Structure 1
Amino acid sequence: MGVSKAERQRTNVRMGLKLGLVALFFVGFGFAMVPLYDVICELTGLNGKTNAVAVAVDKNTQIDMTRSVKVEFLSHSMPGVGLTFKPEQFSIRVHPGEISHMNYTITNTTDKVFVGQAIPSITPAVAAQYFEKLQCFCFGQQSFAPGETRTMPVVFVVNPKLDRDFGTVTLSYTFFEAIKAKS
C-alpha cells in the first residue's frame, strides 16, 4: 500500500512552500539586523555606541581638574576600499568634564566616488557609557570624491563619573563602505 503520486506531489508542494517561507523569513531577518543592532547598542551602550540618556552631561557638571584620562584614537578601514584613515594624534590627555576635540584625516585614494560610514567602538566597554560624542563624522554617511582628502572632527566629553580606576579609554573607528542600493 504505497502513497499515490498525487499525494506525494501535494506533500512536496507543501514542503516547498514551508521552505520558501523559512527562506523569506531569514532574508527579512537579515535586513532587520542592522536596525535591531542599532537599537540594542543604543539601549545597552555596547560596541561603543553610547546611550545618550545615560551619558548626558549635566550643564552643571564641573571639569575634574584633579585627574586626567588618556584617550587613545585608532582607525581602520575595510581592506580594498581605497581609503587612508588616521587620527591627527594617537592619544591626548583630557580632564573629565571638559569638551575635547580630535581630527581624523580621510583620503579617498581611488578614482571613484566613495560613500561610507565610520562605526565607533569604545574600550573598555564599561567606559562607553561615560564617553559622549557631541559632534562626530560617524553620525551619518560620508561621500568622498576621487582623490579627496578631508579633515573630520570629533568633539567629545569624558563624563566625570567615570571610575577613577580607568586611566585610558580607546576610541576606535572602522570605516565601512555603504551598502549600495540594488537597481
Structure 2
Amino acid sequence: MSETISIKRLVKRLLMLAVVMFAFGFALVPLYDVMCKAFGINGKTGGQYEGSQVTDPTRKVRVQFLSTNNIDMVWDFYSKADEIDVHPGAVNEMIFVAHNPSDHPMTAQAIPSISPAEAAAYFHKTECFCFSQQVLQPGERIEMPVRFIVDRDLPADVKHLTLAYTLFDITARQPPVASINGQVPKGEQ
C-alpha cells in the first residue's frame, strides 16, 4: 500500500516537473533578451536603415562575417568573403550563399547578431535575407545579399565588427501546403 502511494507521489512530481519545464521553454525567449541586454552580449543589429549618410573616407572599419547552422540545419551556408574593410557612412554589400542538399523542400530563417554589442546600434541593414524566410527546393542554391551601412557615429575606438548569422530550419513550423482535390499545387511539390 505504501509503495502505491509513493509511486503516485513520484508520478505527480514528474508531471509537475514536466509542466514547469514546458512553461520554462515558453519563457526562454524573453529571458534570453533580458539577459543579453543586461550583460551586453549577442548584440542585435540596428535594424533596417531608411536614412542617408555622408561617407567618412578618412576612417576604415573591418567587418567580419560568420555563418553557422543550428544543430538541425543541413544547408551549406557561407559568405563569399570572410571580411571586408568599409568606410563609415558608405553602403556596402556582402553575398551569402545557401544550398539545400536534402531531397525535400526546406524553409530557413537567419538570425543575426553583432559584436561588440555596444556597436550593434551603429550597424544598419538596408537589405537582408534575414528579413524574411528562405524556401529552397531540393538541390537549390541561392545567393542572398546583405546591404549595410556602418554609422558614422560609431565610437572611434571600435575598429572591428563581427556580423554573425545562425541559420535555423523552420520547415516543421510552416503551415501544411493546401491540396486541391488531394493533389499538391504545381510549384509546391
Query: Helix, strand or coil for the counterpart of 1:116?
Result: strand
> Is the 2:67–2:77 contact (alpha carbons within 8 Å) kept by the matching residues of 1?
yes
Query: Helix, strand or coil for the counterpart of 2:42?
Result: helix
Q: Distance in 1 between matches of 2:168 and 2:141?
A: 17
* Residues 131-174 of structure 1, C-alpha deviations (whole Å, 9 max, x = no match): 12232212333221100101111121111121222222111112
> Is the 1:122–1:169 contact (alpha carbons within 8 Å) kept by the matching residues of 2?
yes
TM-score for the superposition, normalised by structure 1: 0.74
Q: Provide the residue aligned with 1:34 in structure 2.
A: 29
Question: Structure 1 residues 51 and 20 mapped into 2: Cα distance closer, same or farther (>3 Å)?
Answer: farther
Deviation at 1:29?
Answer: 2.2
Q: Provide the residue aligned with 1:24 in structure 2.
A: 19
Question: Structure 1 residues 43 and 116 mapped into 2: Cα distance closer, same or farther (>3 Å)?
Answer: farther
Deviation at 1:99?
Answer: 1.9
C-alpha RMSD of matched pairs (Å): 3.4
> Is the 2:106–2:171 contact (alpha carbons within 8 Å) kept by the matching residues of 1?
no
Alignment of 1:121-160 (within 5 A): 121-160=113-152
User: Match of 2:80, as an amino acid?
Assistant: E
Unaligned runs of at least 5 residues, structure 2: 177-189
Q: Bigger CA drift: 59-68 or 100-109?
A: 59-68
User: Match of 1:103, as an amino acid?
Assistant: I
1:82 to 61, 74, 92: 74
Question: Structure 1 residues 99 and 34 mapped into 2: Cα distance closer, same or farther (>3 Å)?
Answer: same
Deviation at 1:125?
Answer: 2.4
In percent, how many aligned pairs have the same letter?
Answer: 40
> Is the 2:49–2:125 contact (alpha carbons within 8 Å) kept by the matching residues of 1?
no
The answer to whether structure 1 residue 102 and structure 2 residue 86 are counterparts is no
TM-score for the superposition, normalised by structure 2: 0.72
Deviation at 1:90?
Answer: 1.8
Q: Distance in 2 between matches of 1:59 and 1:100?
A: 15
Q: Where is the helix percentage greater, Structure 1 or Structure 2?
A: 1
The answer to whether structure 1 residue 67 and structure 2 residue 62 are counterparts is no
Question: Structure 1 residues 12 and 176 mapped into 2: Cα distance closer, same or farther (>3 Å)?
Answer: same
Deviation at 1:106?
Answer: 0.5
Unaligned runs of at least 5 residues, structure 1: none
Q: Distance in 1 between matches of 2:65 and 2:52?
A: 28
Question: Structure 1 residues 146 and 116 mapped into 2: Cα distance closer, same or farther (>3 Å)?
Answer: same
> Is the 2:46–2:121 contact (alpha carbons within 8 Å) kept by the matching residues of 1?
yes
Query: Helix, strand or coil for the counterpart of 1:147?
Result: coil
